[in-house]
Amino acid sequence: MTIIYIYAFISVIIVSFVSLVGVFSLSLKEEILKKYISLFISLAVGALLGDAFIHLIPEAFENSSSPSIISLLIIFGILIFFTIEKFLHWHHHGEEEDIFHIHPVGKLIIFTDGFHNLIDGIIIGVSFLVSIPIGIATTLAVVLHEIPQEIGDFAVLINSGYEKKKALWLNFLSALMAILGLIVAFIFGSIATTFTTWVLPIAAGGFIYIAVADLIPELQKTKGLRYSILQILAAIIGIMAMLVLVLFE
């Protein structure tokens, strides 16, 4: 059993370090980063929607005997994140005006990403409890799935007003929630699987809300035809990346 714990712990550490994929941007000049930030946001839109509709929602339906409950949980997830952002907006407008204020969507993406990483940690832990090969295969799928999403999340944090180093650090901290998820899986075992089934559609609702309510309106500010086409292509790439990952599951 000890070897299973070691393999699983190493796996979630690897998954957590994937969040540092945004480190490549630290070498980019500020003006270059700002020029292409909307393309990374477009990638985030595709990755979030692709993850929700291709991975999380189908898995939730597959593991549940009540489609109606899953549908309600997805709607519940959208309402939860709508409420959270409302609260962040109230708090945001209650502060003194400052050009360095962080847009609420940045805080929201940290929360949802941490929530998602918690689920990933549980899934990896449960997979290793089944067998080491299944655990390794699951870890590979999670890593491949995290790369486009973490790049997009990092871009959203930058666009929300965070400095590059702080955005990278916050992204990494939210990724460490996978370790907590692993601990939950090992402590509660089969109960953790049931918990994941209920949480998946709520997380999917959160991803849909962020993509549709926050990120797409931001992209609509771009009026140029050439750049708009590039944004659409970037979103499609994000979706296709999630679709390709189905082959590894």
Would residue 22 count as lying in a domain?
A: no
Contact 173, 165 (CB under 8 A): no
Task: Please calculate the CA angle 106-108-113 and round it to the nearest 5 degrees.
Answer: 100
Residues 162, 165, 171, 174: is their CA dihedral positive or negative?
negative
Instruction: Provide the number of structural domains found in the chain.
Output: 1
Task: Please calculate the CA angle 186-192-194 and round it to the nearest 5 degrees.
Answer: 155
Output phi, psi for 155, to 5 deg. -65, -40
Could you list the residue range(s) of the whole structural domain that residue 58 is in?
2-17+31-248
pLDDT over 70 (residue 191): yes
State percent of the chain over pLDDT 70.
Answer: 81
pLDDT at residue 30, rounded to an integer:
60
Would residue 109 count as lying in a domain?
A: yes
Would residue 26 count as lying in a domain?
A: no
pLDDT over 60 (residue 27): no
pLDDT over 60 (residue 26): no
Q: What is the DSSP letter of 10?
A: H
Would residue 24 count as lying in a domain?
A: no
- Average per-residue pLDDT in the chain? 79
pLDDT over 90 (residue 232): yes
pLDDT, average across residues 8-32: 73
pLDDT at residue 195, rounded to an integer:
72
Which residue would you say has higher pLDDT here, 20 or 72?
72
The Cα 5–Cα 124 span in angstroms is 11
Would residue 94 count as lying in a domain?
A: yes
pLDDT at residue 40, rounded to an integer:
78
Would residue 25 count as lying in a domain?
A: no
Would residue 162 count as lying in a domain?
A: yes
pLDDT at residue 99, rounded to an integer:
38
pLDDT, average across residues 38-67: 85
pLDDT over 60 (residue 221): yes
The Cα 195–Cα 201 span in angstroms is 11
Q: How far is CA 135 from CA 10, 42, 200, in A?
A: 11, 31, 19
pLDDT over 90 (residue 210): no
Residue 71 banded pLDDT, cuts 50, 70, 90: very high
Contact 81, 214 (CB under 8 A): no
Would residue 23 count as lying in a domain?
A: no
